[in-house]
Amino acid sequence: MRFVILTQYFQPEIGAAQVRLANMTQQLLANGHEVEVITAMPNYPTGKIFPKYKKKSYMREEINGITVHRVWMYAATGAGIKRLLNYTSFMLTAFWGLNRSKKPDYIFVESPPLFLGITGYIASKWWGVPFIFNVSDLWPDSIKALGIQKEGIVLKILEKLERFLYRKATYVNTLAKGICDILEQEKNVAKEKILYLPNGVDVKAFYPMSPDLLWQKNLGLPTDRHIILYAGTHGYAHGLETLLEAARLLKDEKILFLCVGGGSEKARIHAEAIAMRLDNMSFWQPQAPEMINRLYSLATAGISTFRYSPLLEQTLPAKILPIMACAKPVLYSGAGEGAELIKTAKAGIVTPPEDAPALVEAIRTIINNREYAQQLGQNGQQYIEQNLQWSSIVKNWLQQLGVDKNQH
């Protein structure tokens, strides 16, 4: 079978969606299928097109056996009119890339942005092929629940578009069981249309390794502090104020919070940390998976936080999976599906969302109980190997889709 993946974000960008789609496409290849990707010139998270891709309207390249068609889009970060132009420009220029790809058997469309579903739907009608609409985030529900978008005409238009795309999609795919339930029970999506493709982890990229103390010193990281690693998107939904407050409460203890990644809230959180004189927090730019794996080898634990929101409880944060794969205990400030996974795997300590004092106690428990921390890390690694390797996840998804390995 031939798959066309339509996504605004892809390698060499670093982020949850980019990592997930990279692994998914590699597993599709491993299962004997063909894959082409239509995407934008890479610019995430800075909103500036990477040097190699500047001043280009179209570019074709091969990445690990995948043909990638890149098109120009208006690169920007933040909210408002710039973000709208960012989304709508790619919604239109993506047709240029689609026109250069071969007719697929399935078109897989990554959302958000929701607008890209329009492009995917038109392309599916044009080619006469099934349209798989991938809902990695319930949009616009999430921006409404978090107060990013207020009630009004814009929200009504987005909700109408959402309903339209759910009706027109051949399949609606999602990453979390909770979202599957919402799609069926609240969004009136027929159960037989819903596919489940959870986040997984590449155990060849994330695995336990011994710490290199000389390398640690060369990086400028202290060897006399416990490193708590936050690796991933710094977005509004992640409620990083909880991390700031935990750092404030622990500022006199031998702990360093290392925050690696990008996102809409990073600059603000970094500025607040400086204003609060939190010298136990360090902020780094996004790093490649190999670097993140090595950083986990230096860490005492990995951490993930979420704001309180019933909607966010339906998501499974991708950043907790590499922590588990690297055999490190997970510190999770949140509720819902992510919390249940950690409890089931016995892979870490869960605290209520936005509860900094509880998170502080969890951190102290991990630091002061080395054997307990090691056992949690081993439990997490074992759970990943048995349940969340990408190879088995994608095979299961293809079975849901009714695609046999030999049908290509």
Provide the mean pLDDT of the chain.
92
Lowest mean pLDDT: which of 73-87, 217-231, 243-257? 73-87
pLDDT at 155: 80
Please indicate, yes or no, whether residues 304 and 343 belong to a single structural domain of this protein.
yes
User: Do 41 and 141 lie in a common domain?
Assistant: yes
3-state secondary structure 354-381: CCHHHHHHHHHHHHHCHHHHHHHHHHHH
Q: So what's the pLDDT on residue 378?
A: 98
One domain, residues 140 and 9: yes
pLDDT in tens, 139-189: 767 766 666 656 778 788 888 999 999 999 999 999 888 889 889 999 989
| Domain of residue 102, CATH code | 3.40.50.2000
Indicate whether 206 belongs to any domain.
no
In a domain, 208, yes or no: no
Is residue 391's pLDDT more than 80? Answer: yes
User: Could you tell me which residue, 296 or 156, shows the higher pLDDT?
Assistant: 296
Q: Which residues contact 285 (CB under 8 A, 6 or more apart)?
A: 260, 261, 262
Residue 207 lies in a domain: no
pLDDT of residue 264: 83
**Listed range (21-25, 148-152, 220-224, 345-349) with the worst mean pLDDT:** 148-152
pLDDT at 406: 47
Write out the residue range of the structural domain in which residue 273 sits: 213-387
Q: Once rounded to an integer, what is the mean pLDDT over residues 377-384?
A: 97
pLDDT in tens, 329-372: 999 999 988 999 999 999 999 999 999 999 999 999 999 999 99
Q: How far apart are alpha carbons 96 and 57 in whole angstroms?
A: 10
User: What share of the chain in percent tops pLDDT 90?
Assistant: 76
Query: Would you say residue 100 lies in a domain?
Result: yes
Residue 306: is its pLDDT beyond 80?
A: yes
Q: What is the mean pLDDT of residues 73-90?
A: 86
Residue 347 domain flag: yes
Confidence at 404, pLDDT banded by 50, 70, 90 = low
Per-residue model confidence (pLDDT) at position 147: 63
* 317 vs 193, residue with greater confidence: 193
pTM (predicted TM-score): 0.83
Per-residue confidence (pLDDT) for residue 273, from 0 to 100: 97
pLDDT at 408 over 70: no
267 part of a folded domain: yes
What pLDDT does 143 receive? 65
Amino acid 136: pLDDT? 86
Do 222 and 175 fall within a single domain? Answer: no
| 13 and 151 share one domain | yes
- In this prediction, residue 159 carries a pLDDT of 85
pLDDT at position 304 is: 97
Region 60-81: what's the mean pLDDT? 90
- Shared domain for 157 and 295, answered yes or no, is no
Determine the Cα–Cα distance for residues 341 and 319; give it in Å rounded to an integer.
13
Instruction: Please report the pLDDT score of residue 146 as a whole number.
Output: 63
Flag whether pLDDT at 225 surpasses 60. Answer: yes
Residue 383 sits in the same domain as residue 247: yes
Number of domains observed in the structure of the chain: 2
Same domain, 176 and 243: no
Q: Are residues 192 and 236 in the same domain?
A: no
Instruction: Give domain status of residue 406, yes or no.
Output: no
pLDDT confidence bin for 19, thresholds 50/70/90: confident
Q: Are residues 365 and 394 in the same domain?
A: no
Alpha carbons 269 and 132: distance in angstroms, whole number: 36
Average pLDDT over residues 76-105: 90
Helix, strand, coil share of the chain (percent; to 5) = 45, 20, 40
Q: Verify that 115 and 228 share a domain, yes or no.
A: no
- Are residue 228 and residue 172 in the same domain, yes or no? no
Q: Is residue 205 part of a domain?
A: no
Task: Find out whether 323 and 317 touch, Cβ atoms under 8 Å.
Answer: no
User: Which carries the bigger pLDDT value, residue 385 or residue 156?
Assistant: 385
Give me the mean pLDDT over the 375-382 stretch: 98
Q: Crossing angle for the helix pair 370-387 and 337-345, nearest 10 degrees? A: 110
